[in-house]
Amino acid sequence: MVYSIMAWDFSLFMRPHIKFKLNKSLDIKMAEAFLDFKCGGVDFSRGIMNVHPKLKILKSVKNKRKRKKIIKAHFDNFYKKHGGYLKNKAAEFNTEWKTVESKFLSETNKIFKGYHFHKGKYIGYLSIIDCNPRFIKDKTFQIFYFHPSGARYVVAHELLHFIFYDYAINKFPKIFKKLDTENGIFWDLAEIFNTTILSVSEFKKIHGQKNAPPYPEHKKYIPQITAFWKKTQDIDEWLLKSYEYLMTNKNTLSL
């Protein structure tokens, strides 16, 4: 496939510099949203209750207003007690990411053939729950303040999501423009792409982890899709081949 860099509107692009901030109201909102949420073989409520055992009481609370009241009270108390620590952690994450930011952007630029990141806020909001959602539209995400994989891994993972979705939609609009980024084939493809790319040696050096674990329901598709990447080393070919492969097997995926 012939790649034409002139096709892109550069007024939409920027060089992203992640800022880390606290956002308690968002944290409370996400705790409510993920309390009963399961996806890709993962029960996200565990990322709340395993971190905050006192919130296990919510399992028996069905009234949404009571749930919200309990969550808010717990989060208010936690942020009041540990707000200073969380602010220091944000500064620590900022310093940590800066050490690899240029290398990450350079490697990403190679993969996406000069396609740059779209304009956005590019903020990582520290979270006291381990759910780590990303928000495609404004280019923000949450990062668990005690994430076992570290800030470099989480930021690399989320930034890859941002550029992957934008690239796929702009490069192949007939295929991807109408697809949902939050579930279904497009979501599956994005998550599997991250596992594939973050397992490449150049990216392992950036995030510092031994592996990039996939969602449980994606594990059996990783070998074939990783093979596509090793064979093509081309994002356009990989997108089309992997999409066709997942479409063929979509009845066994979590749609």
Tokens found for residue 217: 């329901």
- Is pLDDT at 91 greater than 90 in this prediction? yes
Q: What is the pLDDT of residues 21-67, one digit of tens each?
A: 999 999 999 999 999 999 999 999 999 999 999 999 998 998 999 99
What average pLDDT does the chain have?
92
Tokens found for residue 84: 């200073």
Instruction: Write down the residue that tokens 């707000």 correspond to.
Output: 83
d(CA 175, CA 186): 10
- Is pLDDT at 8 greater than 70 in this prediction? no
Ranges of each domain in the chain: 11-252
d(CA 55, CA 132): 18
- Is pLDDT at 3 greater than 80 in this prediction? no
The per-residue pLDDT for 47 is: 97
Tokens found for residue 187: 């979501």
Q: What is the pLDDT of residues 96-152, one digit of tens each?
A: 999 999 999 999 999 999 999 999 999 999 999 999 999 999 999 999 999 999 999
- Is pLDDT at 2 greater than 70 in this prediction? no
User: Parallel, antiparallel, or unpaired for β 42-43 and 117-118?
Assistant: unpaired
Percent of the chain with pLDDT over 90: 90
CA neighbours closer than 13 Å in the CB half-sphere of residue 102:
1
Cα 151 to the center of its chain, rounded Å: 12
- Is pLDDT at 5 greater than 50 in this prediction? no
Closest alpha carbon to 122 in 42, 231, 16: 16
pTM value is 0.91
d(CA 96, CA 99): 6
Torsion of CA 124, 129, 135, 140, to 10 degrees: -10
